[in-house]
Amino acid sequence: MVSERNFASGNDGLVAVDKVDNKVLFFDPTNYKLVRTLDGFAPRVHDLLISEDHARAFVPIYGDGIHGDNLHPGHLIAVIDLKEKRHIGDFSVSPYETPHGIRWGTDGRLYCICENSGVVVELDADSGTIQKAMQVGSNKGHRIEVLPDGSKLYAETEEDGFVSVIDLKGHKPLKKISLPSELDGLGMSPDGTTVLVVDAKKPTLYLIDTAQDELVRTIGLEHYEKAAQIVRYSPNGCFVVVTSHEEPLGTILRADLNEQRTIQLGKGPMDMAFHPDGRTVVIANQNDGTISVVDLPEGEVLRTVDAGAGIESLSFY
């Protein structure tokens, strides 16, 4: 089974979450020129998810701090109308705090991990009503992925060093997959067969087989001195892209993970958006206010474009 619901792309626009300036930005998807800015959000916008019909975007309001140092945690998810390019309201996850990683399940279910509270909330995507709250087993969970059939959710727990597996049908914890180190990001293949997890201490990826929910492979990243952070599969499943916020580097791997190419990016590279042409990825360089446009098959940065003050997440739609 393959689902596109958590792998948005499209030619209508490019939307970005500028964490540094606390804004949502809209760019022309062809020339990457800024066309609209939304501001006035509670502190501070972080992650991003596009609805399956590409009509809305959901942007968690994390709080005014960073992971591990967030004294004023947020409790909202901003809802953005992508067609009209405007902020149309907010969902509340209260009494839970610090929403971050956000993904679709099946049947219009929206899942968001609330870091400080140690739970994943299941929301009705139309009303924002909380349906369930499920324990992760850690108050350090930052990012999540959901199987295409909606049966299981995976959450990395950063300093606690395990991936939490949640049974979404039974709404309960299923397993903790212990890994050799602290963690810093994860990404699922479009067919849901594998989850890649980023080691937070050294340049290494861990591959989890979702049929067994076990670690089956360790992949070293070439040419890094420090650990990476973000890992994503392309929507067509042909490529894996890794970035390192601690170094101006990214890595492009083929789907079998046997071949990798290192690319030079801007300062503090973070998340990425995959163009519908299947060969272009746009990577946000959060620490220097740029985005890098990259050719995936060639493993080459085509150009670097000024964009916002510090974009963390972005997506074509």
Q: What is the DSSP string of 86-154?
A: EEEEEEE-TTS--EEEEEE-STTEEEEEETTTTEEEEEETTT--EEEEEE-S-S----EEE-TTSSEEE
**Residue 81 tokens, joined:** 């109308």
pLDDT value of residue 247: 96
Average pLDDT over residues 107-125: 97
Task: Classify residue 3: in a domain, yes or no.
Answer: no
Is 216 a residue whose pLDDT tops 90? yes
Proportion of the chain above pLDDT 70, given as a percent: 99
Pairing of strands 280-285, 249-254: unpaired
Question: Is 49 part of a structural domain of the chain?
Answer: yes
pLDDT category, 25, cuts 50, 70, 90?
very high
Q: Which residues of 281-317 are buried (b: 16+ CB within 10 A; e: fewer)?
A: bbbbbbeebbbbbbebeebebeebbebbebbbbbbbb
Residue 148 confidence (pLDDT) above 70: yes
The CA distance from 123 to 91, in Å, is 9
**How much is the pTM?**
0.96
Q: pLDDT-based confidence at 195, cuts 50/70/90?
A: very high
What is the average pLDDT across 128-155? 97
Distance of alpha carbon 24 from alpha carbon 259, whole angstroms: 35
* Tens digits of residue pLDDT in 32-53: 999 999 999 999 999 999 999 9
* pLDDT for position 1: 66
Q: How far apart are CA 78 and CA 70, in angstroms?
A: 19
Asked if residue 233 lies in contact with residue 189, where contact means CB atoms within 8 angstroms, the answer is yes
Considering the domain boundaries, does residue 283 fall inside one? Answer: yes
Q: Residue 2 pLDDT > 90, yes or no? A: no
Asked whether residue 108 carries a pLDDT value surpassing 70, the answer given is: yes
Q: Is residue 128 part of a domain?
A: yes
Question: Cα separation of 256 and 249, whole Å?
Answer: 21
Q: What is the mean pLDDT of the chain?
A: 96
Domain extent for 229: 14-316
User: Does residue 225 lie in a domain region?
Assistant: yes
pLDDT > 90? residue 130? yes
Mean pLDDT, residues 91-117 taken together? 97
Q: Report if residue 178 sits inside a domain.
A: yes
- Pairing mode, strands 23-27 and 14-18: antiparallel
pLDDT value for 65: 79
What number is the average pLDDT over the span 132-150? 97
Please tell me the least confidently modeled range out of 25-34, 68-77, 86-95, 250-259.
Answer: 68-77
Say if residues 250 and 262 touch (Cβ distance below 8 Å).
yes
pLDDT value of residue 67: 83
* CATH number of domain containing 164: 2.130.10.10
Q: What is the mean pLDDT of residues 235-262?
A: 97
Q: How many domains does the chain have?
A: 1
